[in-house]
Structure 1
Amino acid sequence: MIKLGIAENKRYFVSEGAPFFYLADTVWSAFTNIPLEEWNYYLDYRKSQGFNVLQINLLRQWDASGSDLNQEPFARCEDGTYDFYTLNEEYFARAEQMVEIAVGKGFVPALVLLWCNYIPDTWASRIREDKKMPLDAVEPYVRYAADRFSKYCPIYVVSGDTDFPSERANEYYRTALHVVKRHSPECLTTLHIQGRLAEVPDEFINDPDLDFYMYQSGHNSQFQPTAYTLAMDFSSKPVTRPVLNSEPCYEMMGYSRQVYGRFSRADVRKAAWQSLLSGAAAGVTYGAHGIWSWHKKGKRFGVTGEGFDSPYDWQTALKFEGAWDYGFAKWLFQMYGLTDLRPWDIVLKNTEEIRAAATASLSKVAIYVPVNTVLRLNADLGEYEFTLIDLEHHRFAAASLTVQEGITVIAMHDFESDVLLIGVKKIHFF
């Protein structure tokens, strides 16, 4: 069982004292939609790709795909709404069984306690008339969840997709955060927030019960630069914590607000690398359109609000190539020892799309170049040995560079896709 902690410098995760690269898959609807035989198949496949964290909604995901399973976390009232004071033991026993299986296969569960549709005043509550959870039901529910799941050392994601709209809503999250930390102080905590949101109330930024930052660059095609702008914002918060992009654009997801188009493998890879090299180097989360909602061909899908195009069947979505790219990113971080990368503003180009970062000691440099170009860098990198990595085909090549008057110039490469340049400072022996 993996027990996660936070590094001494508060910038990345550790497990048994060693750096831990958080590589999550988004499977919000697991507990309501996935039969056990499919769960085992899914876990084995993602494990083979290098994933080590699973982001799951502990309650029903409001925009899950239709399912033949009859799994609900609470008893029903006569009008069909949830009785939030009466938990369904059968549901949570099955959820625990799924968590136990996942942990046994080497995954860390990241369990969302309160998705925003259950909370008054949030953006989701304004477009849905669902009954909201009473505030006095939060503590017994969270305490129950902690008593049942904490033995598996999960991450507790206190909020889901929230916009912190009011003091009333914030009181729900404050209560849940403090209850779960009081009952399970060894488990890490975080907040999953609305896409493109940079502002988190100061009370949460300054709360010692919060362990790390998640942000969401999301699925709006107009705002994909938030993959790196939010990374920079959260990595410079007044309280330092590990940062990761917990919801970049999902592979083959339709653009939000029913805009025509879908995010490609290249799009999701770009979001990952721009996040990782801009201050969110603790890890990253992948998503496939058809996995997060666990969609089956012919089943219902579609909600008000963001409005995404139809998902793929889960069996097709599971095999999208982008998941291998995310596993490759984790492998590169581990192979080159890129733990604790920090943004380095050295790119001399009229674009922010190219991202550069270095380790604290400047012994290693990583540069993401989405479109081929002659690269000019405002640093003398002549003492570094550079490797050029084709991120689409996972090929490696030597990079050609020159240095003149303190400016490093790296020539055009021969690959057609985006690339990562990794420079390792040469060691001189005397």
Structure 2
Amino acid sequence: MKHILFILVSFLIIQTSLGQNLPLLKISSDSNYIVTHDNEPFFWLGGTAWELIHRLGKEEIDKYLADRANKGFTVIQTVILAELDGLNTPNAYGEKPLINNDPTKLNEQYFTHVDYVIEKANELGLYIALLPSWGDKFNKKWGTGPEIFNTENARIYGELLAKRYLNYNNLIWILGGDRALENENHFEIVRAMAKGIREIDRNHLISFHPVGAKKATDFLNDKWLDFDMYQSGHSRTAKEYSYVLDSKKSSTKRPIINGEARYENIPDRFWEEKSHGWLDDADVRVSAYWSLIAGAAGYTYGCNDIWQMYDVSKVPIINARTDWQAALQLPGSSQMGFMRRIFEKLSWQKMILNQNLILNNNPENESYILSAISSDKKVVIAYTPIGNPIKIDLAQIDSKRINAYWFNPRSGKIKRIGDFENITPQEFKPWSSGWGSDFLLILTAENYKIDFKDLNK
């Protein structure tokens, strides 16, 4: 009896370690969003942890993943062959990923560590969006490299990874890695890796992480690309919504994710000689709300100190100035959790961008107001990045009376404005304005029930 019990317990442990707790993901029937295998909406709230596998030991990994899970994140984006000399600088346990930098020869000890990250994430309800390699391994540019990939070994490497991780449900493949595709060889290497994965693995979604200010446009006609991803970049002048609008015009319809946006605690436009100050939590919120209200299927938060897992023992990249463990407490990450909570209450996958709702002057600068209405015309949302008043065409809401609320993206709290007759137009003015005073206006039909009570606990 004890022997049978031991076998049963061992089986359950193995099943847990193979990532069976989380459902597989797929593309929604309308090709606009990501859903679970049983068609439940999936909110992609990602975090860039590019150096997680390469630089951290298990205790530190546990701390990072637990923090993100507790704040409502659903996806962690990380890399096997990492950017910061990931081939030749060993991980926290002295292991390099490949034998003699050969992508067809995996170092089992290093990949056991990769396994741990995926399995621990699964325990915490997190998906891992896994980059097989950073882009400098096929196009060095400003990185460390070396360039080790060709079409043959890229395909074999893809096959090896696909076989190893086929039974982990909490996995998403992300190819590319912040590099431009500058010649036909670059394209063929990416396609070869995708082919190697897809020939073995038809369970997991695949996307492509492009260089800054680009979408995965280069592969929009490739069948292996399940969803589009864009990198809107680290600039207060970025118009994150524009990438989504452009994607919606494509004849090839796919969900689109903002996979790398304005990082918290990074110099604004760091590549320019002129100083523009630092990006902060307000930048994070603006880029996130602009992306999602425009119709993105998800958003990925980032922090300059965290992607590189910076501490005082390491050379700071792009003026990193805060220990990554302290940076976990910067306000932007918690505010992303607030955003997920309110959007899920609003049935966000049924919201449709509608700028005709906005009647006041609305220049496309940092004050640009974005609005959307639900497919049943019962809910309207409008986001004002710097607290400018919002004048709304209420006639588009299907109700004789309207309930109105202000949601505070900084605190996650909601304030009831009141209910009133549907007389158009109506102007709503927040209680503060200026940079950092952003608000989400929520208008609902009289009998449309949303329980907001838990937001103010």
Taking structure 2 as the reference length, what is the TM-score of the superposition?
Answer: 0.83
Alpha-carbon offset, residue 94 of structure 1: 1.3
The reply to whether residue 392 of structure 1 matches residue 404 of structure 2 is no
1:268-287 superposed matches below 5 A: 268-280=284-296, 282-287=297-302
Gaps of 5+ in 2: 1-20, 449-457
CA–CA separation in structure 2 for the residues paired with 1:67 and 1:136 = 27
1:338 correspondence with 2:348 = yes
Q: Alpha-carbon deviation of 1:110?
A: 0.5
Q: Residue 132 of structure 2 is aligned with which of 113, 122, 134?
A: 113
AA aligned opposite 1:7: S
For 1:19, what is the secondary structure of its paired residue? Answer: coil
Deviation at 1:316, TM superposition (A): 0.8
1:129-208 → structure 2 map (5 Å cutoff)? 130-153=146-169, 154-198=171-215, 200-201=217-218, 204-208=219-223
Query: Among residues 271, 274, 279, which one is paired with 1:257 in the alignment?
Result: 271
Secondary structure, counterpart of 2:334 in structure 1: helix
Contact 1:33 1:69 in 2 (8 A): no
For 2:406 and 2:210, the matched residues in 1 are separated by 35
Query: Cα–Cα, structure 1 residues 283 and 140, in superposed 2: closer, same or farther, change >3 Å?
Result: same
Q: Deviations over 1:99-147 (max 9, x none)?
A: 1111122111100123221114xxx436656333232210111111111
Compared with structure 1, are the counterparts of its residues 63 and 200 closer, same or farther at alpha carbon in structure 2 (3 Å cutoff)? farther
2:323 aligned residue: 313
**Unaligned runs of at least 5 residues, structure 1:** 77-81, 303-307
Q: 1:209 aligns with which of 224, 227, 238?
A: 224
Compute the displacement of 1:403 (Å).
8.4
Q: What SS does the corresponding residue of 2:260 show, helix, strand or coil?
A: coil
Shift, 1:218, TM fit: 1.0
Query: Is 1:224 matched with 2:242?
Result: no
- Which deviates more from structure 2 when the two are superposed, residues 108-117 or residues 57-66? 57-66
- 1:419 aligns to what? 439
Q: How does 1:332-411 map to 2 (within 5 A)?
A: 332-346=342-356, 347-348=358-359, 349-352=361-364, 353-378=368-393, 380-381=395-396, 383=399, 384-399=402-417, 407-411=424-428
Aligned to 1:231, the other structure's residue is in SS state helix
Aligned to 1:267: 283
**In 1, Cα distance between the equivalents of 2:216 and 2:354?**
24
- TM-superposed CA distance for 1:86, in Å, is 2.6
Partner of 1:84: 103
Task: Give the Cα–Cα distance (whole angstroms) in 2 for the partners of residues 166 and 216 of structure 1.
Answer: 20
CA distance in 2: counterparts of 1:287 and 1:127, whole angstroms: 20
Per-residue displacement from partner, 1:339-358 (whole Å, max 9, x unpaired)? Answer: 23221122232313111122
> Cα RMSD (Å) of the superposition?
2.4
Name the SS of the counterpart of 1:18 in structure 2.
coil
Q: Is the 8 A contact 1:84 1:133 kept in 2?
A: yes
Aligned partners of 1:401 and 1:410 also within 8 Å: no
CA contact under 8 A between 1:234 and 1:279: conserved in structure 2? no
Q: In structure 1, how many angstroms separate the alpha carbons of the residues matched to 2:143 and 2:314?
A: 23
Please say if residues 310 and 320 of structure 2, whose CA atoms lie closer than 8 Å, have aligned partners that are also in contact. no
1:96 shift after superposition: 0.8
Q: Distance in 2 between matches of 1:318 and 1:26?
A: 12
Partner amino acid for 2:157?
Answer: Y
Aligned partners of 1:119 and 1:125 also within 8 Å: no
Identity of counterpart residues, as a percentage?
26
Contact 1:28–1:57 (8 Å) recurs in 2 = yes
Q: Which residue of 2 aligns with 1:305?
A: none
SS at match of 1:112: strand
Query: How much has 1:386 moved relative to structure 2?
Result: 2.3
Aligned 8 A contact 2:295 2:353 in 1: yes
Q: Find the aligned partners of 1:408 and 1:66 in 2 and give their Cα distance.
A: 62
**Contact 1:376/1:408 (8 A) holds in 2:** yes
Q: Is it true that 1:98 corresponds to 2:152 in the alignment?
A: no
Deviation beyond 6 Å, 4+ runs, structure 1: 63-67, 400-404
**1:317 & 1:290 partners in 2: Cα distance?**
7
The amino acid of 1:233's aligned partner reads: D
